[in-house]
Amino acid sequence: MVGARIIGVYGVRVALLALMASCALPAAAAARRVEVGLESQAYPTGVIGAASVRLPVAGRHRIGFRAGYNRARRSDNGEHDDERGGGPGIGAAYRFGLRPEARGLFFGARVDLWWLEIDWTDDPGLTTEVRGSTDILVLQPTGEVGWRFTFGSEMRWAVEPSVALGAEINVRTEGEDVGEGAILLGGVAVTYRF
């Protein structure tokens, strides 16, 4: 399968990201500041669901890592008359909160990699209908702004609505070209601090 070759090419980078996260987790866990959570982001042609781990690095600064699934339903917003599919991905993020308690307004940047398989159709329902499939590696850098609400015992729970703006860049394509470009995402995350 073509997708397996794409994952193999980038497997070393994925392993390095996992290694970086595993090195930081014990120190943060000892300080009882690791946050784990679930997050969802929606964009006009898809939805992302992910599990995340976040670590405070200094005062108002946090880094995070996530793994999830990106489901795309681009219809005719891509290179073909109908594009749909999805696949797994990983990401890393940085956030800066305006308040030291990590509550309130925050700004951030995120970079995700998605291994997507997109099934496409041209001229659907006509005698000239053509179908195909494309495996892509998508780089998705975004900038985000949001608000962090904390609650519960010792303020361990948090809900974070956010808006992100960035780009979907097909860095590797196996098959015909499929859609890419600017992306606007609205999301929410729920986290628990240990």
| Residue 148 pLDDT greater than 60, yes or no | yes
Residues 117-142: what's their mean pLDDT? 89
CA distance 114 to 187: 17
Tell me which range, 74-83, 110-119, 126-135, is most confidently predicted by mean pLDDT.
110-119
pTM of the complete model:
0.80
Q: Any residues with CB less than 8 A from the CB of 98 and at least 6 apart, and which?
A: 60, 104, 105, 106
CA distance 113 to 88: 9
CA distance 186 to 44: 9
At 12 the pLDDT is 53
CA distance 70 to 66: 12
Q: What does the pLDDT look like over 22-68, one tens digit per residue? A: 555 555 444 558 999 999 999 998 999 999 999 988 888 999 999 99
Residues 121-148: what's their mean pLDDT? 90
